[in-house]
């Protein structure tokens, strides 16, 4: 039975322009440059350079300047001449899909750890079967540089996937070869084996020999920092133990992780989005727009559009398609120019709100002067939604007289002192860190002791909260901070 029904529905939809603005807000300065370059390559209606009189729109790339909205005497919408209903569905899909696509920012990548190990393996005098086994073992190494799969599982995989029957003795033999590659400690199956591999590559000496014995025979006592028990069992003095421990601390517990981090640090570059300078008690904010070029609509495309639009009487299907194409490119260019302009305005107002809330810090650089500040506080002053402030503060940096800081650095929760004054949790963490740095490492401060110290200073804080702050600062528990 067929039935007709009329139903009202309230639905929120984002326009392509809104989606584009949201994505642009999230981009830091260096990625925005790449995004603009990509748009210039993709859209011939968009041009880089200073505007000429009568240009449809532009953005200004100079510092401390605002882009004024351009005006034109050309009706780009054509009124009732060309509406969305007249544009073929495939062209509308192209516009929406292009807006929804996430841009991949190109970057130069060096040799990966896997490739580096494969290269070294090829230099060894191995049979074809041994090379295949070695390549498969290397392929199973995780990001930290460890082999966390059982040799029996690897043997099963080689049978089913590579068609090679291998016993564990052969695997163990090739594993030792891979473990002899650089970086030292690679392909270990656990931390103990990783440290031993590295110690075996060091020049023999009394401290190295003692360190090897500690890691090999007393690893549980070493990992739990039971130094008294090690001294007693090994029958050595504190000086010898201290020298052996110094050798162990020079070892790398994550050989693969250090390779990746060094590669990332070589490729990464922090470019500040804002510059805040303090002079004679006054703060001056400027946007880092050096890499953002002036943008405007291509004059030839505007003339072409005007020519087609003024010749409605003699339209052919080909000319109509040309009008649709030119309109799409002009609209896309204008959307992009407006989105860039709005992005700059949003970033400017957000940073101004942060400066007002954290004025003391920008003037002095004193971390303890940071006020409690959450997204809602900035949103209220800037006049934006909390989600907008979150996007602006993501991956953005500000250059100050005291260094470069991520915007997220200025956000922190609040807590009340015993006098009722609200202070930033960052201030409490700084006090904790100062006391941990200055503690007697033979008897490190426990969380309970840190809570007592903070209480004496007027910060009423529970032991579990101290533990939470300590973990956020990556400070180990007292037992693991103990030294001889």
The rounded average pLDDT for each run of 10 residues, N- to C-terminus, in the chain (484 residues) is: 72 64 81 86 80 48 39 38 40 43 42 85 88 88 87 81 77 91 90 92 90 91 87 90 89 78 52 89 88 81 73 69 79 85 90 93 86 89 89 88 89 70 75 87 87 85 86 84 77
Q: Classify 352-481 by CATH class.
A: mainly alpha
pLDDT at 156: 82
* CA–CA dist 217, 195 (Å, integer): 13
pLDDT at 75: 41
Residue keyed to tokens 């107002």: 349
CB neighbour burial string for 416-438, b if at least 16 within 10 angstroms, e if fewer: ebeeeeebbbbbbbbebeeebee
In the DSSP assignment, the letter for residue 314 is T
pLDDT at 17: 65
Cα pseudo-dihedral 309, 315, 319, 320, rounded to 10: 80
* CA–CA dist 413, 401 (Å, integer): 25
pLDDT at 69: 36
pLDDT at 400: 92
CB neighbour burial string for 196-226, b if at least 16 within 10 angstroms, e if fewer: bbbbeebeeeebbebbbbbbeeeeebbeebb
pTM for this model (two decimals):
0.53
The answer to whether the CB of 309 falls within 8 A of the CB of 50 is: no
Q: What does the domain layout of the chain look like in residue ranges?
A: 16-99+295-346, 190-251, 352-481
Q: Cis omega before residue 188 (within 30°)? A: no
* CA–CA dist 462, 460 (Å, integer): 7
Which class for 303: exposed (0-12), middle (13-18), buried (19 or more C-beta within 10 A)?
A: exposed
Query: Among residues 408, 409, 407, 412, which one has the least CA distance to residue 424?
Result: 412
* CA–CA dist 267, 107 (Å, integer): 8
Residue keyed to tokens 């260096």: 30
Q: How many CA atoms lie within 13 A of 205 on its CB side?
A: 10
């Amino acid at each position: 039975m067929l039935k007709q029904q009329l139903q009202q529905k309230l639905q929120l939809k984002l326009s392509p322009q809104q989606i584009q603005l949201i994505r642009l807000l999230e981009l830091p300065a260096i990625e925005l440059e790449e995004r603009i370059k990509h748009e210039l390559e993709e859209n011939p209606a968009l041009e880089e350079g200073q505007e000429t009189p009568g240009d449809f729109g532009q953005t200004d790339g100079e510092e401390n300047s605002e882009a004024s909205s351009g005006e034109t005497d050309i009706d780009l919408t054509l009124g009732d001449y060309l509406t969305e209903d007249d544009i073929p569905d495939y062209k509308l899909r192209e516009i929406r899909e292009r807006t929804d696509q996430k841009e991949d920012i190109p970057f130069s990548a060096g040799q990966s750890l896997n490739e580096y190990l494969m290269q070294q393996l090829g230099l060894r005098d191995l049979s074809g079967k041994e090379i295949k086994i070695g390549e498969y073992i290397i392929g199973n190494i995780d990001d930290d540089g460890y082999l966390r799969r059982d040799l029996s599982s690897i043997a099963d995989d080689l049978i089913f996937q590579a068609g090679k029957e291998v016993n564990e003795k052969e695997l163990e033999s090739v594993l030792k070869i891979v473990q002899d590659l650089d970086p030292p400690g690679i392909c270990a199956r656990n931390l103990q084996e990783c440290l031993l591999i590295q110690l075996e590559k060091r020049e023999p000496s009394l401290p190295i020999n003692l360190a090897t014995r500690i890691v090999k025979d007393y690893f549980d006592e070493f990992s739990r920092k039971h130094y008294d028990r090690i001294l007693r069992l090994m029958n050595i003095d504190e000086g010898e133990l201290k020298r052996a421990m110094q050798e162990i601390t020079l070892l790398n517990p994550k050989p693969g992780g250090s390779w990746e981090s060094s590669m990332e640090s070589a490729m990464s570059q922090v470019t500040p989005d804002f510059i805040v300078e303090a002079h004679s008690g006054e703060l001056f904010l400027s946007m880092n727009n050096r890499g953002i070029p002036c943008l405007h609509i291509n004059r030839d495309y505007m003339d072409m559009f005007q020519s087609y639009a003024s010749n409605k009487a003699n339209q052919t299907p080909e000319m109509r398609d040309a009008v649709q194409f030119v309109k799409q490119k002009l609209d896309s260019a204008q959307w992009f120019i407006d989105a860039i302009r709005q992005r700059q305005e949003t970033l400017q107002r957000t940073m101004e709100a942060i400066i007002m809330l954290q004025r003391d810090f920008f003037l002095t650089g004193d971390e303890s002067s940071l006020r409690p500040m959450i997204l809602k506080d900035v949103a209220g002053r800037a006049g934006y939604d909390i989600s907008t402030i979150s996007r602006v503060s993501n991956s953005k940096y500000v250059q100050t007289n005291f260094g470069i800081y991520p915007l997220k650095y200025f956000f922190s929760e609040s807590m009340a002192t015993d006098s009722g004054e609200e202070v930033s949790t960052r201030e409490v963490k700084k006090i904790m860190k100062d006391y941990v740095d200055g503690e007697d490492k033979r008897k490190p401060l426990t969380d309970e002791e840190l809570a007592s110290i903070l209480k004496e200073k007027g910060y009423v804080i529970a032991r579990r909260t101290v533990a939470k702050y300590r973990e956020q600062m990556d400070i180990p528990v007292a037992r693991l901070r103990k030294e001889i």
